């Protein structure tokens, strides 16, 4: 799949100065729409708008929470991780690859809404390009068409539904 350059400066400015994109997405703002692959009462899982790896996903609580450990009760934390696992297993089934990366990022300075990333490392990526390099914007982002993104989301939705 083709890659396109990532405008990191604009992304960073929006993350630091703009509204919480996850809260806007949860509220139904069409400017912040993403392809949803799973939704339950408390969580959303959706395709990353700027994927660095094929089918990269985010899983978020619908409530604006910021700290992965202290903002959740033990039950809420375990429920969130169960959702991450459900979506990750569906991603493994649909995307293939050799490893699933799971990580929670964010900062009080930008993208503060708690979110987990699910990224499948495809087979054949040389070791020196795995892990940190595979997750950075330096090599651009995958250029999905609208139809490709919608078809991938549908395959992932079906795989998630089959696991429930």
The answer to whether 148 touches 154, Cβ cutoff 8 Å, is no
Q: What is the pLDDT of residue 108?
A: 87
| CATH at 154 | 3.30.428.10
Q: What is the pLDDT of residue 75?
A: 97
Number of domains in the chain: 1
Question: Residue 115's domain spans which residues?
Answer: 3-163
Residues 9-49 pLDDT 10s: 999 999 999 999 999 999 999 999 999 999 999 999 999 99
Mean pLDDT of 88-94: 98
Q: What is the pLDDT of residue 66?
A: 95
Mean pLDDT of 110-127: 94
Mean pLDDT of 116-132: 93
CA-to-CA dists, residue 163 to 27, 150, 158, 160, angstroms: 27, 20, 9, 5
Paired tokens of 31:
């400017």
């Amino acid at each position: 799949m083709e890659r396109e350059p990532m405008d990191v400066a604009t992304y960073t400015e929006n993350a630091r100065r703009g509204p919480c994109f996850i809260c806007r997405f949860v509220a139904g703002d069409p400017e912040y729409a993403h392809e949803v692959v799973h939704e339950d009462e408390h969580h959303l899982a959706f395709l990353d708008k700027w994927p660095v790896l094929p089918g990269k996903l985010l899983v978020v609580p619908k409530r604006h929470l910021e700290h992965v450990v202290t903002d959740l009760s033990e039950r809420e934390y375990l429920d969130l991780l169960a959702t991450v696992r459900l979506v990750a297993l569906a991603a493994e089934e649909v995307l293939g690859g050799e490893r699933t990366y799971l990580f929670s990022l964010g900062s009080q300075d930008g993208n503060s809404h708690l979110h987990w990333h699910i990224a499948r490392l495809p087979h054949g990526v040389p070791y020196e390009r795995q892990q940190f390099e595979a997750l950075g914007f330096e090599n651009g982002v995958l250029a999905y068409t609208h139809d490709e993104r919608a078809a991938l989301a549908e395959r992932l939705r079906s795989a998630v539904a089959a696991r429930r």
